[in-house]
Amino acid sequence: MNQAAAAESSYAWWRLAVSLALMTLGGVGMYSVTVVLPRIQADFGVDRGDASLPYTLTMVGFGIGGILMGKLSDRFGVMVPVLGGAVGLGLGFIAAGAATTLWQFSLAQGLLIGLLGTSATFAPLVADTSRWFTRRRGIALAICMSGNYLAGAVWPPVTQHFIENGGWRQAYTFIGVLCLLTMLPLALVLRRRPPAEVVVVQAGAPTTAMAVHGDRPLGLSPGTLQALLCVAGVSCCVAMSMPQVHIVAYCTDLGFGAARGAEMLSVMLGMGIASRLISGWISDRIGGLRTLLLGSVLQGVALLMFLPFDGLVPLYLISGMFGLFQGGIVPSYALIVREHFAPLQAGVRVGTILMATLLGMALGGWMSGAIFDLTGSYRAAFLNGIGFNLLNIAIVLFLLRRARARGVGLGSARAQAMVNTVNTPV
């Protein structure tokens, strides 16, 4: 096929479907560990903070691995890291299922599942998808990134089902074998390299904030702005991790059982799929900073709702609200980078900020468990999440004020930069 005709072709859409499936399968590395948290605590005889450590190591590995796998994808094509990720996930789950100590389980989660496994099915697939679409790039990326939340909707109840019928070790072994059998053949679909791209800027097109303000985005040095966005990313995701990581354990403590908690997590992340698509549509109209502020405020509202209500039906409803409100937060950071930094810096800056959000998830998962151990309940952990959420809101409001003061456009991303991408044969 001519490379110019490859983008937006039926093959590109088929490739997107495969990428969505791979991201959904690979996402099991993030979500299965939250379901087995109460079993890990009981099996290894540790407290809640120590039992949360494998999740923390998984997210740290996921964040660092995303940068490493991205570089590998740039050099050899996306098929290579995805093949390696399939092997990492398969061996990781099998090794974790055979672990006899918490440190063995944590090592398998952090190194094999997080660093080498799940990380290969996120950032590299997103970057690859962006190169196969031009006019419909936004919706294609939204569909691809929804795989992460689709994994959260599918895997918790599936994992819980296998745990109840055979134990967590058997469940982990089954997942490892499933990853090897399904992901390896799917990865082979991605062997074709993407079409080359030449970016042509239209004469007279509106300029971006970066073009207007040069090397001082929002009147700040690029390093300062990136540091603020990283702190904001850590803060919002410490808050986000509280329900996502501990909802199963929380429901167990309330007497509802782990199965109900897994269902709530599935509802939460299932609504996140809709949130991600809706927020992508909104961000094209109001800009990245305003979208981030909207998501952060609504996430804070949902966190507050967990404090007065702890009944079964209210928790299902609040979990759905939380998922619907927070799904668009993380993608907003990528749009903010494109609005306020030079395009050639987008890759490394987006990767760094996304790593900060993953570190926030890791920190929040561990911190909430540690606070529970100190206080004997999750109330203080929810308050801790709300506090970090307020820090995120404060940073975004600060950046919005600087944007208004300097006349930086905050509306449609399409109005800020009209760029034609022309595909050429290689």
Give the per-residue pLDDT at 347. 55
Give the per-residue pLDDT at 414. 46
Q: pLDDT (tens digit, 9 = 90+) per residue, 339-359? A: 777 655 555 676 678 788 888
Q: State the CATH class of domain 198-426.
A: mainly alpha
Helices (H) and strands (E) in the chain, counts: 20, 2
Domains 1-194 and 198-426 fall in the same CATH topology: yes
Give the per-residue pLDDT at 407. 67
- Phi-psi group of 47: left, alpha or beta (phi > 0 → left; psi -120 to 50 → alpha; rest → beta): beta
Domain ranges, ordered by start, for the chain: 1-194, 198-426
Q: CA–CA separation, 291 vs 282, rounded Å?
A: 7
1-194 CATH: 1.20.1250.20
**H-state helical runs in 36-101:** 37-44, 48-51, 53-76, 79-97
Let me know: does 374 contact 367? Beta carbons within 8 Å: no
Give the per-residue pLDDT at 124. 82
Give the per-residue pLDDT at 278. 86
Strand positions, DSSP E, 120-247: 196-201
Give the per-residue pLDDT at 234. 94
**Residues of the chain under the 70 pLDDT cut:** 1-7, 134-135, 137-138, 196-214, 338, 342-348, 350-351, 407-426
What count of Cα atoms within 13 Å lies in the side-chain half-sphere of residue 244? 35
Give the per-residue pLDDT at 285. 75
